[in-house]
Amino acid sequence: MAQIELLDVNKTYAVGNNVVKAVDGVTLEIEKGEFISIVGHSGSGKTTLLSIIGGILSPSTGRVVVDNTDIYALDEDRLSEYRALKIGCIFQFSSLLPVLTAKENLLLPTVFRPEKGNGFEKKAVEHLALVGLEDKIDAHPSQLSGGQQRRVAIARAFMNDPDIIIADEPTGDLDEETEAEVMELFKGINRQRGITFILVTHSSELAKDATRRLRMTRGRIQEL
C-alpha cells in the first residue's frame, strides 16, 4: 500500500463567472521515503496539489488516502492533527509570525503537543543550527534577510518529526550556494529518516536531484 494515494483528484475554483480547473483528474501513488520533484508552468496547479496533499485544501472531487486514511473524510479535529503531526510545510512565501523570535517560531508547531516542554527548546536551537542560524535564535523575522527567514521556515517544518514534507519553492529566494546546502540537508534527512519529500521547484537543476520527477501541465500530472 502506498503511503499517499490520490484517486482522480479534481479541484475547481470559481472566480466570478469563470471556473478554473486547477487540478484535473490526478491519480498518483507515492511510496514512503520517495523524494519527488514537481515542475510546471506558473498556474499549472502545483501549489493547489501540494495543499490538497497537505490537508490544507479539500479537493472538489476525488480522494486523498494517506496511510490508509481518507483524510478529507476525517472530522475537523482529526484533520488538524494530520496537518500538525504528519505533515511539515514549507510554503512559497515565508509564514513566520513577526512578533515571535526565530526560536519561538520553531516552537509554535509544538505548543499543542501533549508532551509539551520536553526538549523542544533544545531541538529548536539544534534545528536552527542545522540551517546555519545558530547566531539568530533570538532575532525577529524583521531582523532577518529573506533567505534567513526562509531557513527558519525550513527548520520549523521538521519540528514535529513529520512523515511527509511538502515544500513549495523552498529555495526560491536563496543564493545558489545556500540553495545547494538546503538541498543537501533535505536529501540527508530523506535518506536518514525516511521522510517523504514532495518538492515544487522552478529549478530544473534541483528537480534533477529527486528520485522521481513529475510535471504538471494545466492541472494534469505526468511522470518525467
Ligand X SMILES: Nc1ncnc2c1ncn2[C@@H]1O[C@H](COP(=O)(O)OP(=O)(O)OP(=O)(O)O)[C@@H](O)[C@H]1O
**Contact positions vs ligand X (CB under 6 A):** 13, 15, 20, 22, 40, 42-48
Least distance to ligand X, CB of residue 216, Å: 6
Residue 145 Cβ, how far from Mg ion at the closest point, in Å? 22
Q: Which three-class secondary structure state does DSSP give residue 1?
A: coil
Shortest Cβ 44–ligand X spacing (Å): 4
Nearer to Mg ion, 143 or 217 (CB): 217
Alpha-carbon torsion angle 129, 135, 140, 146, nearest 10: -70
Nearer to Mg ion, 41 or 116 (CB): 41
Give the one entry of Mg ion, ligand X, none that residue 68 binds, where binding means its C-beta sits below a cut-off of 5 to 8 angstroms depending on kind. Answer: none
Distance between CA atoms of residues 149 and 163, nearest Å: 23
- Cβ atoms of 120 and 86 within 8 Å: the answer is no
Instruction: Compute CA distances 25 → 11, 62, 158, 204, whole Å.
Output: 9, 8, 31, 25
> Are 23 and 49 contacting, i.e. CB atoms less than 8 angstroms apart?
yes
Q: What are the residues binding Mg ion (CB under 5 A)?
A: 47
CB closer to Mg ion out of 202 and 213: 202
CA 125, CA 122: separation in Å to the nearest integer?
5
State the minimum distance, in angstroms, from the CB of residue 13 to ligand X: 3
Residue number of the CB atom closest to Mg ion? 47
Q: Please, which residue, 46 or 123, has the CB nearer to ligand X? A: 46
